[in-house]
Amino acid sequence: MKPTWSKNFTRRDFLVTSTAATAFAFTFLPSRVWGANERLRLAGIGVGGKGSSDIDQAATLGDVVAVCDCDDNPLNEKLKKWPSAKKFYDFREMFDKMGKEIDAVTVSTPDHTHAIAAAHAIVRKIHVYVQKPLTHDVWEARYLRTLARKYKVATQMGNQGSAANGLRRGVEAIQAGVIGPVREVHVWTNRPVWPQSPAIKARPAESMPIPDNVKWEQFIGTAPMRPYHKAYHPFNWRGWWDFGTGAIGDMTCHTANLAFRALKLTIPTRIEAQNEPLNPETFPGWATVVYHFPARGSLPPVKYTWYEGKLPNGEKNLPPKDLFHGQEPPGSGSLLVGDKGILYSPNDYGAQWMLLPEKNFEGWQDPAPTLPRNGRDDVGMKEEWVKAIKGGPPAYSNFDFAADMTEAILLGNIAMLAGSPIEYDTKRLRITNNRDANKWIKRQYRKGWKMPS
């Protein structure tokens, strides 16, 4: 059985998103000019968990005027820090009441409300920092990029490895040709680390009262309504189709970041998945997804393989052992396989890496830098975003990059749902060999929750 999503995808949707896909390279020009010492007025949407550090770090660069969450517990903690900030449970109400008093916002909600929260900000010309993955649906990623270009806002997706100097060195090394043309990439993860299949394959049978601190309507947001249960909130939503994007959504934006940047990967044309049999509610316990990326200019086609979970025999799902050249694979990492050797990163963020086999690269030195250095990790991501807001260059994980990456990786979840290989036409935002699979490109939002258009 597979989750049921509704078809809600029009010809107008195709035309809008196709325009975005074929536009020329985007140059960010801010919609207003900022003084060098002018303070940003900031808001945070989703301020618990990762959202807590997101708004805290942004607050070092501006003044927090509003906080929004479906849960009183993290909200009240933040109000102790910023007692003058206004408190909201619904970001739509926050923007309606304070849209003209907010310059920039962090969005760190569950995946299914990333896009709609960001879109409500963008159409008000409010700059946005959105946690990875950028969106829950393929269509949403393309749409956010279109909006960001139209309204000239500064954007950043929160895959903090983008700020690591080691990742940027790795990009330069690959692009300098140290391991030759790369035709094969392998990326694996220690996820899932939350409950999902095979342990959970159905919704909880028992009912639970909604805690006084939780606004359940706001948590459910765009998803179909279901009764409250602690199985969904505050963290375990990641394993449920309606709310999360599984291991692919949680970690690919981190662990495949180096490969996407170094190889200039955009959108695959064919995706195939092997996985545990699906249920309608939770992501599978294991999956191997193969993405086929076409040639990009002089760069050759790339076969990119993603590994998650534990196989039926209990072993961790990993790339072929011989690719590691005797190295012991950690919980997560990546391998970029070139004609002359392998760049191996035993790290979620591509921040550390080595060249294999080591004997072939003795005495090798980094090429001359071509990328600016940051080295400030998650804080550095916010600093680059604020510099972009104030007229600097686009942030390194701006939506022109992040939307392509998100669209690409989420196609892996659709390949799982489809149950057979899918052929994808990126210009038309359309799966061409399985018409029924197109219903998973864009879901229908629950009544009362509407994407700004």
416: in domain: no
Could you tell me the pLDDT band of residue 412, with boundaries at 50, 70 and 90? very high
Terminal alpha carbon distance of the chain: 33
Number of structural domains the chain divides into: 1
| Alpha-helix residue ranges (DSSP H) falling in 123-230 | 138-151, 165-175, 216-220
Q: Measured over all CA atoms, what is the biggest interatomic distance in the chain, rounded to whole angstroms?
A: 64
Confirm whether 153 is domain-assigned: yes
Compute CA distances 141 → 111, 113, 441, whole Å: 12, 12, 10
Query: Please, are residues 392 and 372 in contact by the beta-carbon 8 Å criterion?
Result: no
Q: Measured between alpha carbons, how far is 15 from 334 in angstroms, rounded to an integer?
A: 36
Confidence of residue 33 (pLDDT cuts 50, 70, 90): confident
Dihedral-angle region of residue 333 (phi above 0 means left; psi in -120 to 50 means alpha; beta otherwise): left
Residue 182 included in any domain = no
Tell me the residue range of the domain where 77 lies.
11-161+377-395
- What's this model's pTM, rounded to 2 decimal places? 0.94
**Do the domain assignments include residue 236?**
no
Q: How many CA atoms lie within 13 A of 261 on its CB side?
A: 28
Q: Is residue 115 part of a domain?
A: yes
Please name the residues in contact with 194: beta carbons below 8 A apart, sequence gap of 6 or more: 235, 236, 238, 239
The answer to the question of residue 108 being in a domain is yes
Q: pLDDT for 229-288, tens place per residue?
A: 999 998 899 999 999 999 999 999 999 999 999 999 999 999 999 999 999 999 999 999
Residue 128 lies in a domain: yes
Answer yes or no: are the C-beta atoms of 331 and 189 closer than 8 Å.
yes
Does residue 31 fall inside a structural domain? yes
Which tens digit of pLDDT belongs to each residue from 431-449? Answer: 999 999 999 999 999 999 9
CATH number of domain containing 136: 3.40.50.720
HEC string of 54-93 equals: HHHHHHCCEEEEEEECCEHHHHHHHHHHCCCCEEECCHHH
**Residue 10 pLDDT:** 45
Q: Tell me which residue of 310, 284, 252 sits closest to 415, measured CA to CA.
A: 284
pLDDT at 249: 98
